[in-house]
């Protein structure tokens, strides 16, 4: 069991960094100064690389819709998970990573103690009511020394942050619009996920949650 993580919900207030582990933090509301630029940039990304539901290696359709930006994009099909410089839906390179997104990710990484973060990919997941993400590790990247920066937009979600085994009981926290989570170092390979999303419409984005996860994949 993972006994160093509290079992109850983390208490997160805007402006207060909340520790989930030695090198894992919630930064409540951290993305808000970039929000207008970020939402505008996302419109362009979705136009160039629309959301789609990918297949798992087992042949099941994922409940979340995905797209990506950056030099690489995370893709999944019946043959497995991998990063590709080409969007398989269009045969074209993924949209470039917007400057505002890169600036946000690097600022959040520094706030969490990770300097010189240089992400080359951003996986963008769109959750509609009922969509979920099972407990998993982010381990398709070549570089585990870089942190993961995760930005939440839209409806609230219950984020699960566990141990190094899938069977470890995860802690839970509610992530709201503008919250950022950063984990790396000794916490880099912890299991994490999202419970099925309740339909609590966001005033601006409606009945959806968009999650941007930035990594150094290459």
Q: What is the pTM of this model?
A: 0.92
Q: pLDDT tens digits for 11-70?
A: 556 668 899 999 999 999 999 999 999 999 999 999 999 999 998 888 889 999 999 999
Q: pLDDT tens digits for 142-193?
A: 889 999 999 999 999 999 999 999 999 999 999 999 999 999 999 999 999 9
Domains of the chain: 18-215 (2.60.120.590)
Q: 1: pLDDT confidence band, cut at 50, 70 and 90? A: very low
Q: And the tokens for 182?
A: 């950063």
């Amino acid at each position: 069991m993972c006994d160093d993580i509290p079992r109850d919900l983390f208490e997160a207030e805007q402006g207060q960094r909340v520790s989930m582990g030695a090198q894992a933090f919630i930064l409540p509301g951290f993305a808000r100064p970039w929000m207008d630029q970020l939402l505008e940039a996302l419109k362009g990304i979705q136009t160039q690389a629309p959301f789609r539901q990918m297949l798992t290696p087992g042949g099941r359709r994922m409940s979340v819709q995905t797209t990506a930006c950056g030099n690489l994009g995370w893709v999944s099909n019946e043959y497995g998970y991998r990063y590709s410089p080409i969007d398989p839906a269009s045969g074209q390179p993924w949209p470039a990573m917007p400057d505002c997104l890169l600036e946000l990710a690097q600022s959040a990484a520094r706030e969490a103690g990770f300097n010189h973060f240089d992400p080359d990919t951003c996986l963008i997941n769109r959750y509609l009511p009922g969509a979920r993400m099972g407990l998993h590790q982010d381990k398709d990247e070549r570089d585990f020394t870089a942190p993961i920066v995760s930005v939440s937009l839209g409806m609230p979600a219950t984020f699960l942050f566990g141990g190094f085994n899938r069977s470890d009981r995860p802690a839970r926290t509610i992530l709201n619009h503008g919250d950022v989570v950063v984990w790396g170092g000794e916490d880099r390979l912890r299991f994490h996920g999202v419970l099925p999303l309740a339909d609590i419409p966001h005033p601006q984005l409606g009945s959806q949650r968009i999650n941007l996860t930035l990594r150094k994949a290459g």
